[in-house]
Structure 1
Amino acid sequence: MQRVLRNPALGLMSMFIFSILILYVDSRIATGIALALSVTGYIAVKKYSRLIYDISIITFAVALLFSFTVFPKLPPFNRFAIVEIIFVISLIIMRLSRGKIITRVAKGRNIMLKNYLKESLRVSFQTQYGLSIHLLLVLAFYLFDAAELRFVSSAAMVVLCQIIMLVIMIMETARLYILDKKLFQEEWLPVVTEKGDVTGKVAKSITKNLKNKFMHPVVRLALIYKGRIYLQARDQDRLLNPGKLDYPFEKYMQFNDKVDETLRNSIRKECGGNDIPLRFLLKYTFENEITKRLVFLYVSVIEDEAVFNSLHLQGGKLWTASQIEDNMGTEIFSECFELEYEYLKNTVLLAHQFLNNSK
């Protein structure tokens, strides 16, 4: 329901209903119904989706006063034209004051409110332009004396206004539907502090362009088989160090996911299984001009050949400590791996060497 109410173009529904009723019922009834719809919408929707509802309330409050004074002396089309003029003038006044509205919202840090305001302003501008053109056509209509066609032409002019509003509502509904569908498929990354506290979320496609503005958690797994580290070339679509040698298991943590869940998903993605031993090793921050990360490094030490073969890894190979050290600093390894290797060497690999020597 909230997705429907988020559509600011629905604020035009009051004007749309009024344009139908004014031709068939008393102007006070038509205006009262339109005002009631505007107030209901104002109460139901979120704050910065209310701009058109605000304008509708003002318009129909003034029109209600006119319905007891000026309107009874005028034909239905003239009453509608006056209400439309009030509506457009209100839109123009709102547009002139949009700078103050944007400044007030910009002081807050709620991104959703800013998005709601942006949507409302877009629909308001579209409505202002569309109805302004319609009023120019109404003016041209009155420049011609065609009394015998006046009723038909008046009805046609009202229908034209209805079409304009209907097109705006349909276009905005379709745009929001496409946007929601796109956002549903989007990957949302948590924004974290160096301690790991989550302070918000941002779309992965957005944060990639912002480079290192936000810190995101990344889970990595070092796979060690009989004292050798399995490395393969990073995919070319990786943000950091594409093509360089690294662990096959690395994944951004998704918003509301847990570290171990992200790790298991990474393993399933690469080899289809996750029945391997896992142990948390360390947490550290990594930052360069491209990205900023809170890295959770895990290690999986495998001694059983059948378990290792069950992973069906392809495209990489096992590296001994001496092979890695001979190639350190040659820029064939990823930056994160070179940072982590000394720790692996002095903990996991050293422990493996000690156990082998003690046998």
Structure 2
Amino acid sequence: MGEGSVIIKQLRNPAYGLIPLLVFSILSKWVDTGTALCVALGLALLGVFLVRKHSRMLYDISAITFCIALIMLLFQYPLDDFGKFVIVEVIFVMALVVSRLLRTRVITILARNRQPNVRNYLSESFRVAFQIQYALFFHLLLTLVYFTLSTVQPPKIGEREIILLAEVIILAVIVMEVVRFHFLDKKLRAEEWLPVVTESGEVTGKVAKSVTREMKNKFMHPVVRIALISNGKIYLKKRDASRLLNPGALDYPFEKYMQYNHDINEAILNMVKKEIGTKDIPLRFLLKYIFENKSTKRLIFLYVSIIDDEEKFNSLELKDGKLWTEKQIEENRNSNIFSECFELEFEYLKNTVLLNYKLKATETPC
């Protein structure tokens, strides 16, 4: 990834949309208000053009604020620099209030984007907007108290101290968000990312596994399953208790979500090696189908591994399971001891792979 891409990625932190306001407050002490407003507006517009729309809300608000402030400056209101700073702060807070009132509509419009991380970016932007809105609101209350008291007696704090307090508030929000993003980025790097696919298998985006578990069947993900068969018997074991779907139910030992940017062969080999310590088993693709219930939505790729050689089968590092005959499975079907996927797939296995064993057994030698 190039340096420019890294900078743009950093700019997606919604708190950086507060930098134009921070820069304006600092410059207003050293240069004329018009220059400070122009510089701040330039920074805001830079963010607007560089950052995607679903994570640039505070850049948009900053740009609107400084555009309005510049227009007002043209009317030459009789205000000193401190008064103009207060006006800019008021405009900014009002824009934040309006954005929060339009929150539902904004999310509805922008979330039409098919990428599942759009809503996360929007939520982050609104969270930062909520923080800065209330922080600056209390700062404006303090400013109002300052103006009120200054008409009665000289205040103990000056205008510079009040502006400095606003700068500390803005900087504190930015720093907290940068620190939060740092830890969040570390967490995301360790996150398991799943591809979001259509019914045909086309990848349309990605989402963290922890997120999609909470959203249940909102997105469809590809899952690879392998039926292990030996001499007409199917090897089954209990699903791990941490599984989202049917924990504790009997199923194949091989099932795995495909990872984002991984191909299906890579997923199969990694899954097999993790379970039995080797990748050297025969594999054949059987079918692809969609499975959906209240908890999950999956595009399942079913493979079969047939190992009739007893010595080779026993050499596999299989644990906590056993081979089931077709009769044993039939006797226990619909008793909730098998996984939902296995119940669906067994009919297909019975009429293809297992039927082939029966036909071979009835063949008359020439």
TM-score interval, normalised by the smaller of the two chains = 0.7 to 0.9
Matched, 1:344 2:349: yes
Match of 1:51 in 2: 57
Alignment match of 1:263 (pick from 268, 279, 282): 268
Letter in 1 for 2:272: I
Match of 2:247 in 1: 242
Q: 1: CA distance between counterparts of 2:265 and 2:224?
A: 9
Cα RMSD (Å): 3.1
Moved more, 38-47 or 26-35: 26-35
1:226-237 to 2 correspondences below 5 Å: 226-237=231-242
Contact 1:217 1:296 in 2 (8 A): yes
1:121-200 to 2 correspondences below 5 Å: 121-145=126-150, 153-200=158-205
- Call closer, same or farther: CA 1:163–1:336 in 2, change over 3 Å: same
Alignment match of 2:35 (pick from 7, 20, 29): 29
Unaligned runs of 5+ in 2: 1-6
Contact 2:146 2:155 in 1 (8 A): no
Q: 2: CA distance between counterparts of 1:343 and 1:60?
A: 66
Moved more, 62-71 or 232-241: 62-71
Contact 1:28 1:68 in 2 (8 A): no
Once the 2 structures are TM-superposed, how far is the Cα of residue 98 of structure 1 from its aligned partner? 4.3
Contact 2:116 2:206 in 1 (8 A): no
Contact 1:278 1:298 in 2 (8 A): yes
Contact 1:276 1:307 in 2 (8 A): no
Matched, 1:273 2:284: no
Q: 2: CA distance between counterparts of 1:286 and 1:24?
A: 65
Q: 2: CA distance between counterparts of 1:323 and 1:68?
A: 87
1:106-125 to 2 correspondences below 5 Å: 109=114, 111-125=116-130
Q: Deviations over 1:149-172 (max 9, x none)?
A: 77x622221111011101111222
Aligned-residue sequence identity (percent) comes to 54
Once the 2 structures are TM-superposed, how far is the Cα of residue 108 of structure 1 from its aligned partner? 5.5
Q: 2: CA distance between counterparts of 1:13 and 1:205?
A: 32
Once the 2 structures are TM-superposed, how far is the Cα of residue 23 of structure 1 from its aligned partner? 1.5
Unaligned runs of 5+ in 1: none
Once the 2 structures are TM-superposed, how far is the Cα of residue 6 of structure 1 from its aligned partner? 0.9
Moved more, 344-353 or 265-274: 344-353
Alignment match of 1:9 (pick from 12, 15, 20): 15
Match of 2:320 in 1: 315
Secondary structure at the counterpart of residue 205 of structure 1: helix
Once the 2 structures are TM-superposed, how far is the Cα of residue 147 of structure 1 from its aligned partner? 8.0
What TM-score, normalized by structure 2, do the two folds share? Answer: 0.83
Match of 2:332 in 1: 327
Contact 1:192 1:200 in 2 (8 A): yes
Q: 1: CA distance between counterparts of 2:69 and 2:218?
A: 50
- Call closer, same or farther: CA 1:315–1:99 in 2, change over 3 Å: closer
Match of 1:218 in 2: 223
Letter in 1 for 2:17: G
Letter in 1 for 2:179: A
Letter in 2 for 1:245: L
Number of residue pairs the alignment of both structures matches: 357
